[in-house]
Amino acid sequence: MNKSNLEIAVLSVIVIILLFALLGFDRVRTDGAAYFDHGSEFVPENSGTTDATVIFLDNMNGANDTASLKSRGYKVYNRGTSPQGTAATWFQGNPAFFNAYEGPTTGYVACNFRVASSVSTIDSWLVTPRMTVFTGDTLSFYSRSKDNSTYPDSFRVMYSAVGDSVPEAVWTELGRFKVSTSGWVLKKFVAPATGGNARFAVRYRIANSGPGGTNGEYSGIDLLQVARGPGACQLTWSQKLVISDAGNKSDSLRFGISGSGTNLIDSCLGEYPLPPAPPSGAFDCRFVLPNNDGTTRDIRNDSAVNRTWRLTFQPSGSGYPILLNWNPPTLPALGSFTLKDEVNGTIVNINMRTQSSYSLGNSGITSLKIEYVLNSSLSVPVSTGWNMTSVPLFANDMNYNVLFPGIASQAYKYQNGYIPVQVLSNGAGYWMKFNVSGNYIIQGTPYQPEWINVTQGWNMIGPFTQNIPVSSILTNPPGIINSNFFGYEGGYVTEDTLKIGKGYWILTTGAGYLYKGTGDNPVISSEGEQFDKFAELSFATADGKTSYLYIANAGNQMTGMYSLPPVPPSGIFDARFSSDRIVETAGQNHCILLSGNNGETKLTISNLNGIAFRITDGINGKILDEDVVEGKEVRIPANVGSLVLKTVATAPVSYDLEQNYPNPFNPATTIKYKVPVDGTVNIAVYDILGREFKTLVNGYHSAGEYEIILNAEGMSSGVYFYRMTAGGFEAMKKFVVSK
């Protein structure tokens, strides 16, 4: 090429760059697709900027009246308890209250309390069109109410795998939440089951709302989408990196990991190849893949322990320094991130967790790399004696005595009985004994995916790299949990949070897996909050182990949620009813089984609520036979393996003589009376003239409740009286004999 032709080519490139700049294009791909500047991040036109494959997307930027919503496949229902008010069930957003999350100011769908005509419960359903949904797919949308509103609004999110379209059909509630009063907030919910014609629904549901009510004002949702679930083009995490030069020319890159990521272009993750870098003097930054493709988005596979992203940059005519900015709190919780030069890291070596920016003044450096080392450390706390323990990370060696050096026992798993194991697994729980309390540091990588596998029956499980509130746990298939979550703290206790390094019991009705949901709504119900209504039996051993059982009044309904896990291995303290339950009902005798009580055990009962008990040994009642009263300590000898808890009648608080029944009567009637203290009681019958006719009771009574039968034999028809005297108490009642 001669000089004239070279000048023409360079001029043509400059003209093309200027032309695209004037038209709003920032880059041109070799396949002709245009890139637009969306704020500070360049993304392909119409590519979507989501972090997963989008199944369904509605940005709400068009018309959102009832007819328009229905034309897009939505179903709209008012299922409140009052007739329709002045507002539609769902309607176009109004910028007088707040602007849309994105798009035109009216580009969202809204709802408010005026859908009701009077004070009532509002229940406005917005049901999505049918779509194919897989287990683990994610529904997300932005929601908000008025800033600083004092009238609480709330939403519920529903799912139907079979595509039910009316509220009266069968729906699964995925969560509920109070709507934000401080701007738009993203909410996400996970589909618990696969469906070929599935539907989601968002419900604006508030009690005591409508005109004159104390709840409900105005809320909206925007940018509703459903994205493909775990393992299918969904990000595990991503991080934004903004790069600028001395002239404030800037662009943004995004890096991260995914189960579907590779070292090459992954179009389903939003990666697209860039054209060659522009001539010197034009600003450019990009990630460079191993095949030398350039891209603004580089998502690698999540199976590798260590990953490296390579980025190149050139300033505009304004030159250096090159400034790089990122947000450390949005980096994943585990692993180290280091920004380095490509030689040996001696010129640039920045810990990206402790800094949020770096200014590069060395113009000889035109590329850097980000190193992500996933190996992490987590602490597993143990106490002296037996523990239910789990392993939160995948270590290089999962042998139990390598992970827990100095352990005082083998590790035992549960599989229809206790089995010693050498190699441990993530997500499972184990019985292990330790000589001293302390913390074991586990080094390794996060186990993926963070699903806890379960089989039908009792399972010993353990969480992974974060504490998991029980209220946020979902199951696949749905509804298989059939007990509380139990931990062990010297005895079985119900838990509301699964903690790192601990083991837990859970009973399931079938095989499947547990996983962490959105956390917006209590999904797993717990009976623990009822325990404070029950009488509590506390069994404490000499070495500090404590176990609790409960007695409910006869009116309480018992469910399977009170089942206890299997008895621990031999030698571990345990107390339970012979029914393998933690709660039983008063009014009958119950057998209590003790194990691992090698020393004296102390029993105390609290919160009796008027119930009286007697405790005996389960052999012959001669080793132990005592009344149990509030706060009294009963000492149970060592190695007594069974007890009998008996409910006994409580003494009345005062004397009382009840009216006989039936009255009038022939031939017999019943008279009931109460004696609060031991003593002599007399009850006699008198005729209408006050003459004593018959003595019914005359003798010593222990405190209690009594009844006698009065037979009318030898008595004529007419009016009679019966009088009771005891300990200064006197009462008289009238009755009629009718023959």
Whether residue 369 contacts residue 342, with contact meaning beta carbons closer than 8 Å, is answered with yes
Among 371-385, 534-548, 558-572, the minimum mean pLDDT is found in 558-572
Tens of pLDDT, residues 386-432: 999 999 998 889 999 999 999 999 999 999 899 999 999 999 999 99
31 pLDDT above the threshold of 50 = no
- Classify the phi-psi angles of 7: left when phi > 0, otherwise alpha if psi is within -120 to 50, otherwise beta: alpha
Residue 159 shares a structural domain with residue 276 = no
Does the residue 367 lie in any domain?
yes
CATH number of the CATH domain containing 687:
2.60.40.1930
pLDDT value, residue 685: 96
C-beta atoms surrounding 21 within 10 Å: 12
pLDDT value, residue 509: 93
* Percent of the chain predicted with pLDDT > 70: 88
Does the residue 28 lie in any domain?
no
Residue 385 shares a structural domain with residue 515 = yes
Does the residue 14 lie in any domain?
no
Say if strands 473-476 and 109-112 run parallel, antiparallel, or are unpaired.
unpaired
Q: Which domain holds residue 194?
A: 54-227
CATH number of the CATH domain containing 184:
2.60.120.200
Which of 178, 203, 227 is at the close of a domain?
227
Residue 271 shares a structural domain with residue 351 = yes
Does the residue 96 lie in any domain?
yes
Which of 183, 206, 227 is at the close of a domain?
227
Does the residue 4 lie in any domain?
no
Residue 90 shares a structural domain with residue 75 = yes
Whether residue 155 contacts residue 219, with contact meaning beta carbons closer than 8 Å, is answered with yes
| Segment of 245-249, 531-535, 702-706 carrying the highest mean pLDDT | 245-249
pLDDT band for 38, please (50, 70, 90 cuts): very low
Residue showing tokens 């405790």: 615
Residue 186 shares a structural domain with residue 282 = no
Tens of pLDDT, residues 553-573: 765 555 557 889 999 998 899
129 pLDDT above the threshold of 60 = yes
Mean pLDDT of the chain: 85
Residue 307 shares a structural domain with residue 434 = no
Tens of pLDDT, residues 294-311: 999 999 887 666 789 999
Closest CA to 46 of 286, 234, 267, 199: 267
pTM: 0.47
pLDDT value, residue 619: 83
What are 487's two structure tokens? 């931990």
Whether residue 116 contacts residue 76, with contact meaning beta carbons closer than 8 Å, is answered with no
Does the residue 464 lie in any domain?
yes
Does the residue 597 lie in any domain?
yes
Residue 504 shares a structural domain with residue 568 = no
Residue 322 shares a structural domain with residue 391 = no
526 pLDDT above the threshold of 70 = no
Among 101-115, 234-248, 553-567, the minimum mean pLDDT is found in 553-567
What are 608's two structure tokens? 């009796």
DSSP string of 30-52, one letter each residue: TTS-EEEEETTEEEETTS---SB
pLDDT value, residue 37: 28
Residue 362 shares a structural domain with residue 392 = no
Tell me the CB-side half-sphere exposure of residue 273, using CA atoms within 13 A. Answer: 13
634-652 average pLDDT score: 85
pLDDT value, residue 303: 67
In eight-state DSSP terms, residue 406 is T
Which helix (H) or strand (E) is 684 found in, with range? strand 679-686
Residue 137 shares a structural domain with residue 100 = yes
Residue 400 shares a structural domain with residue 468 = yes
9 pLDDT above the threshold of 50 = no
From the DSSP assignment, how many helices (H) and strands (E) are in the chain? 3, 59
- What is the count of structural domains for the chain? 5
42 pLDDT above the threshold of 50 = no
pLDDT value, residue 39: 26
In whole angstroms, give the CA distance from residue 176 to residue 150.
Answer: 19
649 pLDDT above the threshold of 90 = no
Residue 436 shares a structural domain with residue 520 = yes
Which of 198, 227, 256 is at the close of a domain?
227
* DSSP three-state, residue 68: helix
58-85 average pLDDT score: 94
